Structure 1
Amino acid sequence: MKNTILIADDDANVLSSLQFLLEEEGYQVIPCQNQKQIAIEQARHSVDLIISDMNFTLDTTSGTEGLQLVEHLHQQEPQLPIIVMTGWATIDLAVASLKIGANDFIQKPWSDERLLTSIKTQLDRSSAERRANKYQQQNRLLMRENHPVNSGSIVAHSPVMKQLLNTLADLAKSNMNILLTGDNGTGKSMLAQHIHDLSQRHDAPFVSVNMGAISENLFESEMFGHVKGAFTDAKESRIGRFEMAESGTLFLDELANIPLSQQAKLLRVLEEHQFEAVGSSKTRQCDVRIISATNADLNSLIEQQLFRQDLYYRLNTIELRVPSLVERQADILPLADYFLDCFSKKYHRAKPALSSDAEAQLLHYHWPGNIRELSHLLERALFLSRHDIIEPDQLHLPAKNFGNRKPLANRELLTNKEPLDNQEANNPTNSFNGYNQHLTSEELTLEQIEQQVLKDRLNAHHGNVTETARSLGLSRSGYYRRINKYELE
């Protein structure tokens, strides 16, 4: 992209000469003959450097107008490089201009080589400062938690995760926006990072922002940045998340939490690929890929007029659901081993093993908190274990998410058993207190157990779906997915 240079001089011949020289060097040039025109053009365009004469109409030699202009420009945009030029150069004038914000001082008639060298030097310095400022803000605001659930490699032994990763690998090569759905704690943020790492944008920044953590009145400032003085507490200019993610990927987590009043502003950026910082009239172009994630039912929110349908269509060029942990049975024990390995290294402790009973308990649990819950549980178990084996009592799994049944003592949970016949499966006389007596049997598969729990729990709550889902530690959407999976009415 060409750098834009604004040149200001009341002499039309000087403007013409400078414009010809700079355009030959590949710069985009904006010529101005007075200070009013400078203000207008600066508001219209994003300028990378200014070359300004020191004298306009007030007099011809003092440089007072030029000093006032430099001071004003520097106060507006401290990072904007300014080169001043004058035919009445003095040491005092040069020193005064540099003190109030100019970056270089060149005497007329100028040397083309000297001027071009100065321009390149100032543009390189400004670019380096912007990059440093961007990464400094990115690291300060978006520092990711040093936790294995966020930063580890992806464990995928289950068919459903292998299929998802294959799909993501193909999609990563494109620039289409991707919407990841699924329950909390399923690893959506890690998968978003994975997509970025596999994409052609992998050398550019990956910027993650939790939309639920941004208040409505700070939305524009956080996303688009602000200039100094834009509002009471704006003591310095600040770049927003879109600018941080330039040429890279912007991950919008907790998408459904974007206030309705701000959704139109986000839609405009996605449609037109441009935005303005708060307090600035300059339109900035942006080249950012959007990956978003939510555990909410966006279609339901659209029906309730809490989420814009046009924004939804912009974000879900492709929509993929991330499976919950109970749908990834083959991944539970490998994930547990991975987390124990990570936490053992982190805390410099010997890595314990899981007993067969502990493994069976992990496999038998419902995991309402998904992978995040598993990681925190094993971090705690590492410290509770006094030996080299972790037993079930050191896992402290809540009994309510076992469905009040005895955990299996072996891995027969994963074996293929014959399903119950329809008469037995639907016989209400087999239930007591909302749970089936067969749940203590080792003859049932996980799917059979889950089907029976869904039926009995709904019966126990007299058909109330919300209470049933809550008692199972599921969201409503998670509950309905399981109903559809087993073709239950």
Structure 2
Amino acid sequence: MAGKDGHILIVDDDEDILVAGKLLLKRHYGTVVTCNKPEHIEELMSGQSFDAILLDMNFGPGESSGAQGFFWLARILEIDPQAVVVMITAHGGVGVAVDAMKKGATDFIAKPWQNEKLVATLSASVKLRRSRSEAEELKKTNRTLARAASPSNQPILGESAAMQDVMSMVERSAPTDANVLILGENGTGKELIARELHRKSLRADKVFMSVDLGAVTESLFESELFGHKKGAFTDARDDRIGRLQAAHGGTLFLDEVGNLPLHLQAKLLTVLEQRRVMPVGSDKSIPIDVRVISATNVPLAKLRDEETFRQDLLFRLNTVEITLPPLRVRADDVPELADYYIGLYARKYGKPSKSLSSDALTALKSYGWPGNVRALRHAVERAVILSEGDMFEAADFQLDAQPNQAGDVATVKTETFDPGTTSVADLNLERIERATIEQALKKHRYNISHAAKDLGLTRAALYRRMEKHGL
């Protein structure tokens, strides 16, 4: 039986029907509105929402064709496409009522009706209405979440020839459903490009689902990507939808795909070939419709090594390849990037947005940037926080002397803490941790996965410590 909060509208030109219907239904629903003139339907619907509408097929003496019922049914559904309408018809008009159902009515009641049947029919109709409303709200919520999750707050900056080539590839490949493999060192903006591909694709209004394969443990790989059924393993207390199924209709971004072990590559390949996933513990596969964008910092030559990466999977992933240039080969973009981050962090920390001195600009452009744009961002953030002059000077960025690709050397060097040479008197744990992390990052050329492994940390834990120390 429906709850007392339901809203019902009865539309009939027979006052006896209206009175009988209201007396019966007000015991089951919170509000029962009656209307003897269908011309008032639009006004009534504009003021409130009805869970179900009882609508007579004929109005006026001698009418039996059902034409008026068809007209007002169409008008109601035009006002509210999710409306649930139950037609009221005489016994001889059952065929007409069935035609009304073909035109969008939910059900029909023959008069004189049986009270139990009327209540049961309306109960089912109200449940249907609420299910439709919940489904519609869920769709709206999903669209909102997709819009909120997909765009990046950071624009893609840079007018260098290398970046123009990248953006040309994005423009040409984005509107297609071709799988894209993005190659590049850590910090070059691979996820930013992936989001731009999604934003300019035909799936832009759908979800952008990002999966960091470098952070997914082998034991949870299938559960995370494919989902699982309740009871499939010890901690599977509920059914869970995997990332692939959650990305249905949208874009799936597989970050750090080059770090995936060979035996897991085989499982991913099977899913991409069949376009179906089978949750752990299930015996039924589920179709998926996703566009796959992948990214890795592993060099292409290493990906083409069959002992490292399955070539049939590589074939699936790299219909289009986009290689992001490191920051050291696009020095002309450094001033624009630095200005953007200066403005960003000045607003964040309530600091004045100062300009760069000529020495600072020269130092930034000649620096090797082993961490690429990510390293530049952290350097600018530190400078905004610590700078005390009227302009940003080279020393504010705390750059180590390091050659860039062309062999030039940055003009700035600040003292760094080296755990191998520091006096034993300095036992400050914060400085030791910062220096150790910095040393690991430099050792592995800012490859986060390798540095984290060397430090005995997860990627997420390393990122947290890098943020903590401003690295």
State the TM-score, normalizing by the size of structure 2. 0.58
| 2:235 alignment partner, one of 218, 233, 236 | 233
3-state DSSP of counterpart to 2:220: helix
Aligned to 2:131: 122
Return the alpha-carbon distance in structure 1 between the equivalents of residues 444 and 308 of structure 2: 27
Aligned to 1:396: 398
| 1:214 alignment partner, one of 216, 220, 225 | 216
Aligned to 1:346: 348
Q: Any conservation in 2 of the 1:325–1:367 contact (CA below 8 Å)?
A: yes
Letter in 2 for 1:341: G
> What RMSD in Å do the two structures reach over aligned CA positions?
3.4
Q: Any conservation in 1 of the 2:368–2:402 contact (CA below 8 Å)?
A: no
Alignment of 1:239-318 (within 5 A): 239-318=241-320
Cα deviation for residue 227 of structure 1 reads 2.1
Q: Any conservation in 1 of the 2:368–2:410 contact (CA below 8 Å)?
A: no
Structure 1 residues 307 and 109, CA gap change in structure 2 (3 angstroms): farther
Structure 1 residues 304 and 285, CA gap change in structure 2 (3 angstroms): closer
Return the alpha-carbon distance in structure 2 between the equivalents of residues 166 and 372 of structure 1: 23
Instruction: Give 5+ residue unaligned stretches, structure 2.
Output: 1-115, 413-441, 448-471
Cα deviation for residue 119 of structure 1 reads 4.4
Return the alpha-carbon distance in structure 2 between the equivalents of residues 182 and 281 of structure 1: 39
Structure 1 residues 120 and 398, CA gap change in structure 2 (3 angstroms): same
Return the alpha-carbon distance in structure 2 between the equivalents of residues 386 and 160 of structure 1: 35
Cα deviation for residue 122 of structure 1 reads 3.3
Cα deviation for residue 151 of structure 1 reads 3.2
Return the alpha-carbon distance in structure 1 between the equivalents of residues 373 and 239 of structure 2: 39
Kindly provide the CA deviation profile for residues 228-277 of structure 1, in whole angstroms up to 9, marking residues without a partner as x.
22211112222211122111111111111112111122112211111111
Aligned to 2:382: 380
Cα deviation for residue 133 of structure 1 reads 9.2
Aligned to 2:324: 322
| 2:200 alignment partner, one of 179, 198, 201 | 198
3-state DSSP of counterpart to 2:334: helix
Aligned to 1:182: 184
Cα deviation for residue 301 of structure 1 reads 4.4
Return the alpha-carbon distance in structure 2 between the equivalents of residues 281 and 324 of structure 1: 46
3-state DSSP of counterpart to 1:320: strand
Cα deviation for residue 390 of structure 1 reads 1.2
Kindly provide the CA deviation profile for residues 149-170 of structure 1, in whole angstroms up to 9, marking residues without a partner as x.
x631111211221121122012
Instruction: Give 5+ residue unaligned stretches, structure 1.
Output: 1-106, 410-469, 476-489
Cα deviation for residue 350 of structure 1 reads 1.1
3-state DSSP of counterpart to 1:184: coil
Structure 1 residues 284 and 195, CA gap change in structure 2 (3 angstroms): same
Kindly provide the CA deviation profile for residues 321-345 of structure 1, in whole angstroms up to 9, marking residues without a partner as x.
1111112122111000001011111
Return the alpha-carbon distance in structure 1 between the equivalents of residues 266 and 313 of structure 2: 8
Q: Any conservation in 2 of the 1:273–1:287 contact (CA below 8 Å)?
A: yes
Letter in 2 for 1:234: A
Letter in 2 for 1:202: A
In the alignment, does 2:172 pair up with 1:170? Answer: yes
Structure 1 residues 281 and 384, CA gap change in structure 2 (3 angstroms): same
Kindly provide the CA deviation profile for residues 117-174 of structure 1, in whole angstroms up to 9, marking residues without a partner as x.
64464365367569869999x99xx989x9xxx6311112112211211220121110
Structure 1 residues 302 and 123, CA gap change in structure 2 (3 angstroms): farther
Structure 1 residues 216 and 342, CA gap change in structure 2 (3 angstroms): same
Q: Any conservation in 1 of the 2:181–2:294 contact (CA below 8 Å)?
A: yes
Give the number of equivalent residue pairs: 303
| 1:334 alignment partner, one of 336, 346, 350 | 336
Return the alpha-carbon distance in structure 1 between the equivalents of residues 135 and 192 of structure 2: 34
Cα deviation for residue 295 of structure 1 reads 1.1
Q: Any conservation in 1 of the 2:401–2:411 contact (CA below 8 Å)?
A: no
Kindly provide the CA deviation profile for residues 3-46 of structure 1, in whole angstroms up to 9, marking residues without a partner as x.
xxxxxxxxxxxxxxxxxxxxxxxxxxxxxxxxxxxxxxxxxxxx
Q: Any conservation in 2 of the 1:227–1:238 contact (CA below 8 Å)?
A: yes
Return the alpha-carbon distance in structure 2 between the equivalents of residues 214 and 120 of structure 1: 41
Letter in 1 for 2:131: Q
Identical-pair percentage: 40
Cα deviation for residue 367 of structure 1 reads 1.1
Aligned to 1:53: none
Letter in 2 for 1:300: K
Return the alpha-carbon distance in structure 2 between the equivalents of residues 237 and 474 of structure 1: 38
Aligned to 1:366: 368
Structure 1 residues 122 and 405, CA gap change in structure 2 (3 angstroms): closer
After the TM superposition, which segments of 4 or more aligned residues of structure 1 sit over 4 Å from their partners?
A: 107-117, 126-136, 402-409, 470-475
Q: Any conservation in 2 of the 1:401–1:472 contact (CA below 8 Å)?
A: no
3-state DSSP of counterpart to 1:183: coil
Q: Any conservation in 1 of the 2:183–2:300 contact (CA below 8 Å)?
A: no
Aligned to 2:457: none
3-state DSSP of counterpart to 2:182: strand
Letter in 1 for 2:241: I
- Decide which moves more: 236-245 or 317-326: 236-245
Letter in 1 for 2:134: R
